[in-house]
Amino acid sequence: MNYVITPPEQASVAVAGAEQRFPVHRIYCVGRNYADHAREMGSSGREAPFFFTKPADAVLSAVADQVITMPYPTLTGDLHHEIELVAAIGKGGSNIAVADAPGHIWGYAVGLDMTRRDLQADAKKLGRPWCIAKGFDASAPIAPITPVAQAGDIAHAEIWLKVNGQARQSGRIEQMIWNLAEVVSHLSRAWQLAPGDLIYTGTPAGVGAVQRGDVLEGGITGLTPLHVRVA
């Protein structure tokens, strides 16, 4: 193929214990998928989750357990952490049945859905899109992806985040309002899922602000932890 400009580099994420990388197609995110977080964001905790997206090149991929540096984004004074289980799609499809959904997942990773909370609050108030609050550059730090077969029992894993060694968020994957298979099924009715899609599956309670110099450490049982320094 001949292009009129140099094509952009393929966004990708490291794979645990391998040199090959996972190429990123799209990033889907689930909003309010843990009841306790939905309540802290002002809803009853029983509403259906909803979806938003980030650009594929918003990933900030760590290799092994290296500490990655995330630049503090412009235009915000209230950068929030949301620790999340990320599912990596290996097989695409539309209208995927809940029972078939697990067969579409290639692996799992620990991710952060970083959020300009002040701009999100403005967008909510004004009925505007969330892109500027959620889809900014480097807004999706992610640890290496572990293939499903090596990830253990993710459905019963624990998920947590520490900031400067202090516990901030903790929960269990089974606390999701919509489980992983239901999320994949629902998403595939709205979009055609493709190999390379990442799904950020929502965050448990305890979201809060981080400052320049803070070190975030996120983990999910059985997966490579994520270490991010905000600069």
Binding site for Mn ion (CB under 5 A): 82, 113, 203
Cα–Cα dist 31/50, whole Å: 5
Between 135 and 196, name the residue whose CB sits nearer to Mn ion: 135
Min dist CB 42 to Mn ion, Å, is 15
Cα–Cα dist 184/200, whole Å: 11
Between 82 and 217, name the residue whose CB sits nearer to Mn ion: 82
Min dist CB 142 to Mn ion, Å, is 13
Min dist CB 39 to Mn ion, Å, is 15
Between 15 and 60, name the residue whose CB sits nearer to Mn ion: 60
Cα–Cα dist 139/199, whole Å: 14
Angle at Cα 161 formed by Cα 158 and Cα 165, nearest 5°? 125
Q: How far is CA 181 from CA 4, 22, 105, 106, in A?
A: 41, 21, 9, 13
Cα–Cα dist 121/110, whole Å: 26
Min dist CB 32 to Mn ion, Å, is 8
> Alpha carbon 173 to chain centroid distance?
13
Cα–Cα dist 22/165, whole Å: 30
Between 63 and 205, name the residue whose CB sits nearer to Mn ion: 205
Residue pair 88/109 in contact (Cβ under 8 Å)? The answer is yes
Cα–Cα dist 148/89, whole Å: 11
Min dist CB 116 to Mn ion, Å, is 13
Between 113 and 217, name the residue whose CB sits nearer to Mn ion: 113
Min dist CB 30 to Mn ion, Å, is 7
Between 113 and 197, name the residue whose CB sits nearer to Mn ion: 113
215, β-bridge pairs:
229
Residue pair 107/149 in contact (Cβ under 8 Å)? The answer is no
Residue nearest to Mn ion (CB): 113
